[in-house]
Structure formats: C-alpha cells, structure tokens
Amino acid sequence: MTDLLVSTEPATGAELWSGPVGNPGQEVAIAREALAEWAERSVAYRSETLRRFANVVRSNADAFADLIARETGKPLWEAATEVQSVVNKVDISINAYAERTPNLRSEGALGAKVAVRHKPHGVLAVLGPYNFPAHLPNGHIVPALLAGNAVVFKPSEKTPAVGARLIDYLHEAGVPEGVARLVIGGPEEGRALAAEDGIDGLLFTGSARAGQALHRQFADMPHKILALELGGNNPLVVWNAKDVESAAAMIVQSAFLSAGQRCTAARRLIVSEQDSDKLLAATLKLVDRIIVDQPHAEPVPFMGPVIDNGAADHLQEQFLGLIIKGGKVIRRLDRTNPDLPFLTPGVIDVTAVQNRPDEELFGPVLQIIRVADFETAIAEANNTRFGLAASLIGGSPKQYDQFWAHVRAGVINWNKPTNGAPSTAPFGGVGLSGNHRPSAFYAADYCAYPVTSSEAEIARASIAQGLRPPVGDR
C-alpha cells in the first residue's frame, strides 16, 4: 500500500489534496538519465522553453493563486502577487544569466585565445518552504534549468499541492518530464534526497536549524554545491521619523505581512526611549485595525492564519516564554479559534528581558526594544547570530551611512520595510541566515560553474631551456 501525503487548508481544516509519497532515489535516477540532452540544448532554447512556462503560469494565474491561498492560508490578493513573482522570475533569470555568466574571450600568449564559459552542475535537488511555496522554490528552479541542470524538487510537506502544480506547469511548457522531477514527502524524504549520491548539489530555503543540519551533512562533500537561504531575527530601527504615520505603516508591513511568515519580517522594533510613545500609539492603532480572516473573506483580510496548529501552538509557547522572562504584553497573541491556526498580531516590550532568546519567531509577533541612543540601537540591531534583513526608518543621511556601515545583514534598507526585497538584486544573508550563496539575481552564480580554456587552432610548442643538445650535435 502506497503512503499518501495529505494537505489541508489552514483556514478551514478541510482536506485540499493528497498524493503518494515519492522515492527520491528513483527520481534522481530519472533526472540523471535526462540531464545530458537538456544540458546540450542552447541557452536560447532553454530560455524560450522557460518563457513558455511563464506564459502557462500567466494563463492559469487565477487558479494558481486560489490554490496558493487555500494551501497556505494567505489572503487571495497576496497569493496573486506570488503568482506574478513566478512569472517575472523567468525574464529576470534570463537577464541575470546573461550578466552573471557571460561567454568571455581574450588574447592569450603566442596567439592563443582565453575563453571563459559556464557549465551546469548536473542534477540539483531543491527543497522548498511553505510560506512562498511557488515563488521561493521557483527562484531556484528557473535559474537551475536555464543553466542546463536537471532538477528534483521536494516541496514542503505542508504545501505539496502548489509544488505539484508548479512542476505540472513546467512540463506543460515543454520542459522534459525527466528534467523537472517531483518528490512528495516529509522530512524523511527531504533527508533522503539530500543524501542521494546522484545529486550534484542542493538548493535550500527554510529554517536556520535545518540549514545547519544540511551544512554539517555536506561538510565532507566539497564537490557538491550547497546554497542555503535561511531565516532571520531581523531588526527594524525607527529613529526621529518625521512622518510617524508612514513609519507606523512600514512597521506593520514589516512585522505582519504574510502573518509574519516571511524570512525578512521584522522581529525586533528598536526605538528611542525618549520619543517612542507617539510612534507606538500610531502603530497600535493600525495593529488594532488588522483584519485576520480566511483567504477569500470579505472584507479583504490583511492576514490569514499561520500554516497549521502546530505552528500556532509553538508561537504561543514562545510568546509565553517572553512573558515569563519579564516581557510586557502590549497586544496579546490571541488564538481566535482553538481548532484553527488564526492568531491576532502580538506586540510585546522586551526591553527589560535579560538574555533575550535569539530566535526567529516565525509568525505575527513583534518585540519592542527601547534604547537610549543611536549607537546603542545599532549594537542592539547586531545582537543576533542572524544577518538577513535590517531597516532604518527616519534618521539623517549620516546616520543611515553609519547604520549601513555597521549593521551585519545582507539586505539593508532605509525608509523602507524589512521585507519585499527586489528580485532584480541579490538576496541573501550572513551569520545563521545563509552560507554566502545569495539568490534572486545572483542565483546564476550557484547554478553554473566557470570553465577557463586556453585555445589555439594549431598546436605549436617548443622547449627553449633546460635540455641537453640533440644527439647528432655532440
């Protein structure tokens, strides 16, 4: 009897999809057999195939957005923006590949030519997350296919329906079935896929804990590429903001978009203890107006549920832990339905908490930290092992220069939210947030490797020194 993986809608608990658990070894073998023919195709051929994929997604945009909304619980409007990101990724990746991996030729010694070209790694495994189950794995899959790799994709066990649909769209567009493979399953299948001898690398988006485990697993395999896109305990510093209402809106966007289930979400709001009251009052007015509801509700919600009851339980335990350590609750993290994972936005002042946990609270929780001066704000921003995103709202140009120079993060913004990084730029973090393999526009860097060649049409060589005279000349 084949094991089935069942996906349910977070907002209702209803069964949405089911499918048989896959065999990672079998899927990798199929991909390896199909690899050569795809890799031998021209970049122009692969580009046109992926442009057809973008058209397939575009023509199914409404249905795809509906599926994403139902399986993740995010509002339909937000799911629609994710679909558009999937479409946009194709042209962005084509441009990035041309810019990051161009064919180069230069003059070498003795009339030779020096050429630099790029090759695909081979079969790449992709492990996807549940918060953006189409956009984030697509950000690995499209650049990998464009470079000539075959891909074996295991979506999150919490969003398998979206992952399966994404692979279906690739096949419909003409990507060979053997080149884009799907593995349905849970953590066990993910570990098995990562351990397959037949893969040439792994592209992962997910938690820091899982990323650390993969880093250890790949430590003795330097011949395999490993790209880790992990989470963050991201700081948002607001300092002398002139437009308090705009600052409040950016705080809410940073902390509570996607129910806080973004790796770039603001987890810590760092403010001046002298002038924070007006800012927090404006922020709380917005927080209290946030509509939390199911994806298709009217009026349109700002937030849906978190991904499942287990995630909601864990967040409530973490919130309670902050209270026990001395945190002052400003807005409770309430469960509106004990049987479903809907949470109201939680806000807690942790200024007085000693040894604050350096964790990614992956949900709608914002921690307030009050500091005396700007230098302390920067020090507090860096008080984390993570280093993904950081933002300064307000401040002078000189203070932003100081913030940019001293804050450790891969994404540093000024008068913009911490989230919503552009796909036309590199995306990645330092510390526990990644392993120096930035994705988005720089994904081409880890999907192909450079090959340097010295080339001449005719073989000409001589040895001028260090030889005895020829025998006949003695």
Walk me through the domains of the chain, giving residue ranges and CATH numbers: 4-230+434-455 (3.40.605.10), 234-414 (3.40.309.10)
pLDDT(380) > 90? yes
**CA angle, 107 as apex, 103 and 112 as ends, to 5°?**
100
User: Per residue in 135-144, pLDDT tens?
Assistant: 999 999 999 9
How many whole angstroms separate alpha carbon 106 and alpha carbon 121?
A: 25
Q: Which of 105-114, 139-148, 159-168, 346-355 has the lowest mean pLDDT?
A: 105-114
- Residue 474 scores a pLDDT above 60: no
Q: What is the pTM of this model?
A: 0.96
pLDDT at 312 over 90: yes
Residue 229 catalytic? yes
Annotated catalytic residue 263: yes
Annotated catalytic residue: which of 263, 360, 380, 447? Answer: 263
Catalytic pick among 9, 27, 78, 229: 229
Residues contacting residue 457 through CB under 8 Å, at least 6 positions apart: none
- Return the pLDDT at 1: 44
| DSSP annotation string for 315-354 | HHHHHHHHHHTT-EEEE---BS-TTS--BPPEEEE-TT-T
d(CA 471, CA 368): 87
What separation in angstroms does the CA of 249 have from each of 5, 135, 394? 39, 25, 13
Give me the helix-helix angle, 76-100 and 43-59, nearest 10°. Answer: 170
